Each structure stands twice: as structure tokens, then as C-alpha cells.
Homo-oligomer: A and B are copies of this chain.
Amino acid sequence: MKVAKFGGSSVANATQIKKVGEIINSDPERKFIVVSAPGKRNDNDFKMTDMLINMGNAYIQDESYEEYYSIVMERFKEIIEGLDLPSSLIAEVEHTIKSTLVQDVDDNLKMDSIKALGEDNNAKIISAYLKELGLTAHYINPKEAGILLSDEPGNAQILPESFAKLYSLREKDGILVIPGFFGYSNDGKLVTFSRGGSDITGSIVAAGVEASLYENFTDVNSVYSVNPTIVDNPKEITVLTYKEMRELSYAGFSVFHDEALIPAIKAKIPVCIKNTNNPEAKGTLILAERELNGQCVSGIASDTGFCSLYVSKYLMNREVGFGRKLLNILEDEGISFEHAPSGIDDMSVIIRESQFTPETEETVIMRINEELHPDTVSLQRGIAVIMVVGEGLVNTIGVAQQATSAFAKANVNIEMINQGSSEVSMMFGVQAIDMDKAIRSLYNAFFD
């Protein structure tokens, strides 16, 4: 039994949903279908969820919401009509939306219910469409499915008892269409995950029903070995481990909502990234473990927007607790750090730049001066992080050489190397301005 999750662009309109229908129809193992809200139909389009948020905000603040409502309804109507489904479905969607708007709950909960309307109605429409195709299909509400979440509107977490309930869905007849993105608290309130949470639903359902495969349908053929906006036509990755995926997604590989894979990972369910628009393409398979195929590097990820906080003090390494105190100041100020390379008498802390407003910068530097009495403290902005990722990295002699040679060839100075904790990655810091040429040179070194 497989779980297939279809993202926003895969269910953006009738044309796309017809492709989804064919995909489901072509493999009787595809029993659990998780769907997103309609996404963008083209680059200039809106996402259903954004429009619902606009509508919800206007409604809650007693402003005019009717225009948003019309746009939302127009979109659902277009989908239903495009699929030749009965117009009673349009009335049903209308009724659901209106009753959600007027329900008597607090604003946060009402907002969550409004945000969930995209996935919920889309699941009903797709279920109806599958029936039209002659399949046995049912819409299953997350409450009925057993998706129990913590009582945190907009940022709910799965409760462990959900998994056993989900497992019993295996006994149900036919194809089950489940809306992504939301579930219910123990006392029956509708709550949503954080944004992008349909991936979380898919992963949870896959874990709960103990799927043989979790298929994640998107609009790309596969995960690429490097960002295609930097390198033309990069190699597709056919197999990745969970660990590699996570290290890659850290620095700019945003195929997945960051935490989404964890439930599937923990349940050791294989995950496959597939393309709704090209379902014949093999896609990228993500496994707990994989055979090494002789190629030690799987992918190269990169991201800008880092900064480096540098602190030096004579005899720092004699001062027990210096590093801990420095990290403590950052924690106090709500700043999480990424890496902390250290010398004998100095330490750098790599931090996402977005965490440093001019005020935070001032406070942090003042506190370091006052509490740690360093010889120097400074903040360097404009750092890019490049991750070279591969299960073959550890114990392969010469990878560091290949990588550093690529930087030298591109005439790029390496500001930082952090290697030795993760077994599947090697991290480099460079000036943001040098990032693209370093990436191209690394790609040539490892993939050409």
C-alpha cells in the first residue's frame, strides 16, 4: 500500500487534477491520497491558501472580505466545472466556507479553520472526481482518519496516539482521499501545522499506515545534484539517504518542508519524489540507507545570508567555560547558532544573518565585551555556506582535496571549513559574492 501526496501545483486546476486521476488509476497500490490546496497555475498566479488567509483576516477584522470570497469560489467553481462534476458540489463548497466564517470560536481557531478550507474542499473535489473515473474513493476527514494534534493553532504537532488510529485505515475499502495541512486537537478543535504542512500530513499518514512507499508528487522530475539556477541541466539524483536529504535541504534544497520527512524517516518508509507532469520519470528515492555507487558526493547545496561573529582573547582555551558563556549570551538573546569553529585563542560563531538586527548586534557585542572581556569582537556579514553532501564522504581519502582544489581553481578563498561531525557532509564558508563560481567549480569536480 502506497501513500501518494500531491502538492499545490499538482492540484492547481482541472487539467492538473486529471493527471492526478490518471496517476492514481494507473497503480492500484496507491490507496492513500493526501492533497494540498490548489497552488499556482502559472508564475503570476495566487495560491489558494494565501487568498484564504486574506479572506480570513478581513473577516475577523470586520473589513470587506467579499472580494476574496469571490476569488476563492471562482477558483473552486472553475475546478469543479473543469472536471465535469455536478454543480451540487459547488453549493457544498459554498456552504462549507460560509459556515466556517460564521462559526463561534476564537480568532486563532477560526483562522486555522479558514486556512484549512483549501485542502479540505480540494480533497472532496478530488474524491468526487475519482468516483467519476469509476474508482472506489472516499473523502476522509482528518478527524475520522485519526490525525490528533497538539492544541497549538498554526503550529500544531502530531500526537503519538495518531499512528495506531491511522493504521486501522488500512482496513477501509477503496481509495482514501485525505486533506493535508490540518488535524484535530483532543477536544475536537481544528488546528493546522505550520505553513507547508501537507507534506507533514503525507509523511504522518505514510508512517501510520506503514506504507510500502510514500510518493511525494511535485513539479520536478527529481532532486538535482546542484541548484539548477546556478548550473545548467545538472545531474538528477536517483537515490539519496534521509541524512543526505536533510543536509542538502539545510542549505537551500527546498523540495521539502523542513521537518516534514521526520515521521516517515522514523518509521523507515522509503520516500519517492515524483513529477505529476511526467510520472514516467523515475524521480528521486529517499531511503534510510543506500548502497554506495562509487560516487562519493550526492549533491551540493548552498545558501547565502549567514554572518560570522568573531571573538578573540589571549589564553581563551585555558578559560574553562568561555565557549559555553558565549553561546549562552546568544541563547539569552534568542539567537540560534549554526556552527562554531574555534582556534586556540579565538572562536567564530556562524549565525543566520536574519537573526541579527542592528539592535541585536549592538546588544550581543556589548554583552560579549562586558561579560567575556575579549581582546576583539566583530561581526562579518555576507557569508555564504556551501554543503558538499554524500554518504561516501566519510572514509573516502581525497574528497577534501577534490573540494578544496575546486575552490582554488575558481580562485575563491575559503573563509571557513567545518568537517568532522556529520559523516555525510563537508561545510565551507565563502564570501557570498564568490558562491556561484565556487558551486560551478565544485560541480565540475564531482559530477563532470
Contact B320 A334 (CB under 8 A): yes
Interface residue A421 (Cβ < 8 Å from any Cβ of B): yes
Inter-subunit contact B327/A324 (CB<8 Å) = yes
Of B246, B346, B419, the contact of A345 (CB 8 Å cutoff): B246
Q: Is the CB of A340 within 8 A of B340?
A: yes
How many residues belonging to A are interface residues under a CB distance threshold of 8 Å? 62
Q: Which of A253-307 contact B (CB under 8 A)?
A: 259, 262, 265-266
Give the CA-CA distance A421 to B418 in the complex, in Å: 11
Task: Name the distance in Å between A315's Cβ and chain B's nearest Cβ.
Answer: 7
Is the beta-carbon distance between A344 and B413 smaller than 8 angstroms?
no
Task: Describe A's contact surface by its main secondary structure.
Answer: mixed
Q: Are A247 and B344 in contact (CB under 8 A)?
A: yes
A44: which B residues are within 8 A, CB to CB?
Answer: none
Q: Are B320 and A331 in contact (CB under 8 A)?
A: yes
- Given the known interface contacts A327-B323, A405-B401, the answer about A346 and B310 at a Cβ–Cβ threshold of 8 Å is no
Q: Considering the chains assembled together, what is the distance between the CA atoms of A204 and B400 in angstroms?
A: 44
21 inter-chain pairs at a CB distance below 8 angstroms, sorted by A residue, are A243-B345, A265-B314, A266-B314, A310-B421, A321-B331, A323-B340, A324-B324, A339-B341, A339-B342, A340-B342, A341-B419, A342-B418, A344-B422, A348-B420, A396-B413, A397-B411, A400-B400, A401-B404, A404-B404, A416-B420, A418-B420
Q: Which residues of B contact A342 (CB under 8 A)?
A: 338-340, 418, 421
A346 to B403, CA, bound (A): 22
Contact in complex: A407, B417 (CB < 8 Å)? no
Q: What are the 7 A-B residue pairs with the smallest beta carbon separation, nearest first?
A: A343-B422, A416-B420, A398-B408, A324-B327, A400-B404, A401-B404, A348-B421
What is the 8 Å Cβ interface bit string for chain A, positions 186-202, against chain B (1 contact, 0 not)?
Answer: 00000000000000000
